[in-house]
Amino acid sequence: MTDTLCWCCKHAVPKTDRKGRYIAGCSWSMYHTPVKGWECSTEVVYNWGGKTITSYRVSKCPNFERG
């Protein structure tokens, strides 16, 4: 089993420039909405402080950029 592609993607942590425009980030990292066209192999559900969180192991993503 491999880790999600997001761990080595520059969009995993949203960033803005001085004018507040996004220069990094994606629908997943900003809104927890899957990126259109990504491929994920496994769904992971875990408990975070009593709240159930759904996550994914992304294997391919059209927005991936190494970062």
Spatial CB neighbours of 29, under 8 Å, sequence gap ≥ 6:
6, 11, 12, 13, 14
Find the shortest distance in angstroms from Cβ 61 to ligand SF4. Answer: 3
Count of CB atoms situated within 10 Å of the CB of 25: 17
# chain residues binding ligand SF4, by CB under 6 A: 14
**Segment lying near ligand SF4 (by CB under 6 A), choices 4-12, 14-22, 42-50:** 4-12
Find the shortest distance in angstroms from Cβ 11 to ligand SF4. Answer: 4
Separation of alpha carbons 54 and 40, rounded Å: 12
**Binding flag, residue 55, ligand SF4 (CB under 6 A):** no
